[in-house]
Structure 1
Amino acid sequence: MIKSFVCRDTEELFNDKRVRRFQSFERQARKRLMVLNASPSLNALMLNPGNMFHALKGKDTGQYAISINKQWRVCFEWHDGNAFNVAIVDYH
C-alpha cells in the first residue's frame, strides 16, 4: 500500500485528479500506481515482467522503480510491506 508521496502531482494523479504534465501517459501512470498500491510485496512486483520492476543504484540505492514508458518511472522506497516517498520521475 502506498503510504506517502514525495511529489504532489503524483499524489493528485493517484487520487484521480488530472495533472497536466502527466496527461500524455496518464492512463499508464495511474495503472502503475494502482499496481504498486495493491502489491503485498516486492516479490509480487518482480513476478510480473510487465511492471519492468528494478532496484535503483548509485545515489538512489535503497529505492525501487516501476517503468511507465521509456522516459518515465514510478520511484519509491519499500518498508514493512508498504511503499513510501512515491514519485513519478523523468529519468532522461
Structure 2
Amino acid sequence: MIKSFKHKGLEKLFLNSDASKINQEHTKRLRLILAIIHKAKIVEDIDFIGANLHELKGDRKGIWSVTVRANWRITFKFENGNAYILDYEDYH
C-alpha cells in the first residue's frame, strides 16, 4: 500500500487523477505502476514485464526503482508491505 510521496505531482495523480504536473506521455504508465505498487504485498509483486525493478546501490541503497520510460523512474522505499517516499525522477 502506498503510504507517502516525495513528488507532489505523482501524489496528485494517484489521489485525484490530476495529471497536470506529470509528463503527459507518461500518465498511462504511471497510473499502471501506481496501481501495482499500491496492491503489492511484497516488493517482488512489483516486478512486472518491462518494470526493470531493482534496488539502487551506494548512498541510495534501500531505494527501489521501476522504469516509466527512457530515463524516467518511480523510486520508493518498500517496508512491511508498504511503499514510502514515492518519487518520479530522471536520476541518470
Instruction: Give the structure-1-normalised TM-score.
Output: 0.88
Amino acid corresponding to residue 32 of structure 2 in structure 1 = K
Structure with the larger helix share = 1
Q: Deviation of residue 21 (structure 1)?
A: 3.8
Aligned residues: 91
- Secondary structure of the equivalent of 1:18? coil
Residue 42 to residue 26, structure 1, CA distance change in 2 (3 Å): same
TM-align CA RMSD: 1.4
Deviations 1:40-78 (A, max 9, x none): 1112223x3332111011221110011111121110001
- Distance in structure 1 (CA, Å) of the matches to 2:79 and 2:52: 20
Q: Deviation of residue 79 (structure 1)?
A: 1.1
- Secondary structure of the equivalent of 1:62? coil
> For structure 2, which runs of at least 5 residues remain unmatched after alignment?
none
Sequence identity percentage: 29
1:88 aligns with 88
Q: Deviation of residue 88 (structure 1)?
A: 0.9
Find runs of 4+ consecutive structure 1 residues off by over 4 angstroms: none
2:61 aligns with 61
- Distance in structure 2 (CA, Å) of the matches to 1:87 and 1:30: 14
- Distance in structure 2 (CA, Å) of the matches to 1:84 and 1:20: 20
Instruction: Give the structure-2-normalised TM-score.
Output: 0.88
> For structure 1, which runs of at least 5 residues remain unmatched after alignment?
none
